[in-house]
Amino acid sequence: MIDQGQGQKPEQGSGKAGDARRRQVGGAGFLVGAVGALVFFAFFPGLPHVIDWGAVLVALAVGAVARWGCLAWMSRRAARRPERR
């Protein structure tokens, strides 16, 4: 049968290389967001210099938003540019 990509648009990186790239960028975006939020809570003047569970949960949420932003940016960028082969 014909493989239809299970609902993916062709410009969103259908294929193993595109999926691997999206996974790498998403993971890097998550790490940068989460570490950035933890550094903010640890070193920003005026805040208690303690990492508690609230700071960890906020850092995870910031990491998730950063990942979503990176993946949305990649999708938008791929839609604008013709596919390279």
Token pair, residue 82, equals: 């013709």
Range of the domain at 20: 15-80
Residue 12 has pLDDT above 90, yes or no: no
What is the identity of the amino acid at 85?
R
CA gap 82, 66 in Å, rounded: 26
Counting the structural domains of the chain, the total is 1
**pLDDT tens digits, 19-58:** 888 889 999 999 999 999 988 888 887 777 777 888 889 9
Q: pTM of the prediction?
A: 0.68
Residue burial 49-77, b: 16+ Cβ < 10 Å; e: rest: eeeeeebeeebeebbeebbeebbeebeee
Cα distance between residue 28 and residue 76, in whole Å: 18
Structure tokens at 10: 């062709």
Instruction: Indicate whether 39 belongs to any domain.
Output: yes
Question: At 2, is the pLDDT very low, low, confident or very high (cuts 50, 70, 90)?
Answer: low
Q: Is residue 69 included in any domain, yes or no?
A: yes
